[in-house]
Structure 1
Amino acid sequence: MNEWRHVFKLDPNKLIENEDLSSICESGTDAIIIGGTDGVTFDNVYDLAERVQQYTVPCLLEVSTMEAIMPGFDGYLIPSVLNSKEKHFVTGIQHEAIKEYNDWIDWNQMVVEGYCVMNDQAKVFKAAECEFPTQEDVMAYAVMAEQMFRFPIFYLEYSGMFGDVELVKQVSSQLEQTALFYGGGIESYDQAAAMKQYADVIVVGNIIYKDVQAALRTVEACR
């Protein structure tokens, strides 16, 4: 993960044709993350994972609901939404999961992400009951993620909207050990290149379902 530069994120609640999936998995991206905000079920996660795992690219599950947790992934990403107003989305779900699954958890496969959701119109912003952060808030969350919680990932999530390159640059300057992930609105080579200047890893998702060729060009931008 320390050498990742680009990942594709696939939503189990969206349809993707086999040909497009093959192109995505064989694109040279560093990993495929399976995860979404709504409509995530055991069955659709299982079906998508089974298709992705035909390829050699690492496949990780971003855990958004305990009902969809299953073995067999190369790793598990555990979000903690730092700008949520509700404890449930910061530590509550994780606490419930540990009570239920602690005896089966391989902690070497678990990676915690400190999320900061930046688009107040996004489903995830509303679902996680987020509070819109100021620039000062974002910088403080980044420092919290690294210096207080020692999270390996700080994730700036614009979720469908292309974000503020200057803010990503400033957040990057605050982080030394924690990797900065950026996700949101990347639909072109140029946008991917702009964010990759400062983010350690860019996450590309929605464009896969609109223009798979444009999605593939984002991989080229990160090489």
Structure 2
Amino acid sequence: MILKLDPDRQLDDERLRVILRSDVDAIVVGGTQGITPEKVKVLLDRLQGFPREIILEVTDARCAAEGAHRFWVPVVLNSRDPHWIVRAHARAIGQWKDPHLTDRLLPVGYIVLNEESAVASLTVADTTLDDEELIGLCMVGHYLFRFPFIYIEYSGKWGCMDRLARIRGRVPQVPLVYGGGIRESWQARTAASLVDTVVVGNMLYENHAQELESRLRMFCQAIRADA
């Protein structure tokens, strides 16, 4: 399980301590709105006590800061705008002068499916895909573009697990990541049974520290019990 933290959202020290000592696999830093280099650096600095992998989701080339082990570069496969498939990335690569930075880049094929989300609006994502189109994008991303995994992104909304099950059944060899609306342990367990990795984000900001610690523990137990 991966936790996703947004540099543009407030996270108090007590909840941060819970996150840092949680038994999750990695933390991703990233978001859609209000992201600045200063906010990213502040959050990365606060995460330096985390013993496992810290990943920076690069949605703005200016924010590719030190402090992360790897850099996820989103390629929005269902965007109607080529800017979010290749143009933004071409411009960003030209701005990165540190050769060690490019060694840590990891392209990630995103499929954005929550039509009401900020990321869908920003990237002009076609959220009306039918199953065949969605399966096709998964296969193109993995087999043609060789992305290490495909991120099914519902961005704050609990997605359709029946559909996710159909997709998994058709592309069993494609590594899938799911993110969106996981707030209960049964949701974490259900999603984890259908994909390789689940991402939890909004819930981290919606519970006080004691409740958050309990929920994260239950999430990890539910996911590992299903593994």
Does the alignment reach a TM-score above 0.5?
yes
Three-state SS of the structure 2 residue aligned to 1:115 is: strand
Looking at structure 2, the residues matched to 201 and 36 of structure 1 have their Cα atoms a distance apart, in angstroms, of 19
Amino acid paired to 1:136: E
Q: Which residue of 2 aligns with 1:110?
A: 105
- Match of 1:134? 130
Structure-2 residue corresponding to 1:220:
221
Name the counterpart of 1:59: 54
Which residue in the other structure is 2:21 paired with? 26
> Any stretches of 5+ residues in structure 1 without a counterpart?
1-5
Query: What is the alpha-carbon distance in structure 1 between the residues aligned to residue 102 and residue 62 of structure 2?
Result: 19
Q: Write the mapping of 1:162-201 to structure 2, written as runs, cut at 5 A.
A: 162-175=158-171, 178-201=174-197
Answering whether residue 50 of structure 2 is matched by residue 93 of structure 1, we say no
Q: Deviations over 1:13-70 (max 9, x none)?
A: 0011111111112110000000000011111111111011122121110001112111
Distance 1:216 1:161 in 2: 22
CA contact (8 A) 1:146 1:177 kept: no
- For 1:153, the equivalent position in structure 2 comes to 149
Q: 2:139, 2:174 within 8 Å by CA — same for their partners in 1?
A: no
The sequence identity of aligned pairs, in percent, is 30
Q: What do residues 105-134 of structure 1 show as CA deviations (whole Å, max 9, x unaligned)?
A: 544421111010011000100011111222
Q: Kindly state the Cα deviation for residue 135 of structure 1 after the two structures are TM-superposed.
A: 1.8
* Contact residue 143 and residue 174 of structure 1 kept, 8 A: no
Q: Residue 107 and residue 100 in structure 1: after superposition, are their counterparts in 2 closer, same or farther (change >3 A)?
A: closer
1:165-197 deviations in whole A, cap 9, x for unaligned? 122222223445542000000000000000100
Q: TM-score, normalised by structure 2?
A: 0.91
Aligned match of 1:3: none
TM-score, normalised with respect to structure 1: 0.92
1:42 to 37, 42, 64: 37
1:48-103 CA distances to partner (integer Å, 9 max, x unpaired)? 11011122121110001112111231100010001110000011111111122265
Kept in 1, the 8 Å contact 2:131–2:167? The answer is no
8 Å Cα contact 2:22/2:216 also seen in 1:
no
- Mapped to 2, the partners of 1:117 and 1:30 lie a distance apart of 23
Give the Cα–Cα distance (whole angstroms) in 2 for the partners of residues 184 and 219 of structure 1.
17
Give the structure 2 partner of residue 7 of structure 1.
Answer: 2
Contact 2:114 2:153 in 1 (8 A): yes
Q: Distance in 2 between matches of 1:65 and 1:76?
A: 12
Cα RMSD of the aligned pairs, angstroms, is: 1.5
Count of aligned residue pairs for this structure pair: 218
Cα distance change of structure 1 residues 76 and 169 upon mapping to structure 2, 3 Å threshold = same
Cα deviation, residue 219, structure 1: 2.3
Distance 1:55 1:130 in 2: 33
Q: Distance in 2 between matches of 1:158 and 1:152?
A: 19
Measure the CA separation in 2 of the matches of 1:95 and 1:47. 27
